[in-house]
Amino acid sequence: MSEPTLVTSGVAGRYATALFKICEEDDQIGSLQKDVGLVSELLENSNDFNSLINSPVYRREQQEAAVSAIADHMKVLKNTKNLLCLLAQKGRLFILPDFIYETNRLLDRDRDEIAVEVFSAVNLTKAQVTGLEKSMSKLVGKKAKVGVQKDESLISGIIIKLGSKMIDTTTKSKLLKLRNLMKEVN
């Protein structure tokens, strides 16, 4: 039986696919998931790290030395560390957010899961998130993993992003539609 083809686009997708395949061959998918979580957390919480990967002030050698030290400190897989160093050598550390997204997509596919992004005007309760996960799982036929972000500008309602599809039930979007309809009447 042939293996399913991993389809990704762009440079970040190619790096993600390469690292994923290497970790799959070495039976290290669980460790790869941990590594991606650590790097993602670092991106979210460290302004210094974001400055390092995005600033033209740092030379590639400096970036490589820094990410190598960070990788050692976080105790990531050797393959993950090598990839981070390669990105620094090639001047491509700025693609890390896209790389993380693509790697998470591959990990979700491997676990037969799908990521669902939810934007809500208010904080959702655990029961509401669980209900959304059940509904989305039935809808797509895979286990849905719901990530919720609060966005007070939505006024009320939620936006659900599932792959390339989007469901928008917010008051903000309804008001914008109403405003556009009123402009057409004039």
AA letter at 145:
K
**Helix extents (H) in 26-155:** 29-45, 47-54, 60-74, 78-89, 96-110, 126-140
Whole-model pTM: value is 0.67
- CA separation for the pair 15, 20 (Å, rounded): 8
Q: What is the DSSP letter of 157?
A: S
User: What would the two tokens of residue 14 be?
Assistant: 């190619």
- CA separation for the pair 52, 84 (Å, rounded): 13
Give, rounded to a whole angstrom, the gap between the first and last alpha carbons of the chain. 62
Fold of 10-108: Peroxidase; domain 1 (1.10.520)
CB 101 within 8 A of CB 107: no
| Region for residue 45 given its phi and psi (left: phi exceeds 0; alpha: psi -120 to 50; beta: otherwise) | alpha
Cα-based distances in Å from 155 to 144, 148, 165: 26, 16, 22
Cα-based distances in Å from 26 to 14, 16, 23, 38, 152: 18, 15, 5, 20, 44
Q: Strand, coil or helix: what is 89?
A: helix
Closest CA to 15 of 102, 115, 104, 81: 102
pLDDT tens across the length of the chain (186 residues): 334 444 445 899 999 999 999 999 999 999 999 999 999 999 999 999 999 999 889 999 999 999 999 999 999 999 999 999 999 999 999 999 999 999 998 998 888 888 888 999 888 899 999 998 998 889 888 888 888 888 888 888 889 888 778 888 888 888 888 888 888 876
Q: What are the sequence ranges of the domains in the chain?
A: 10-108, 113-185
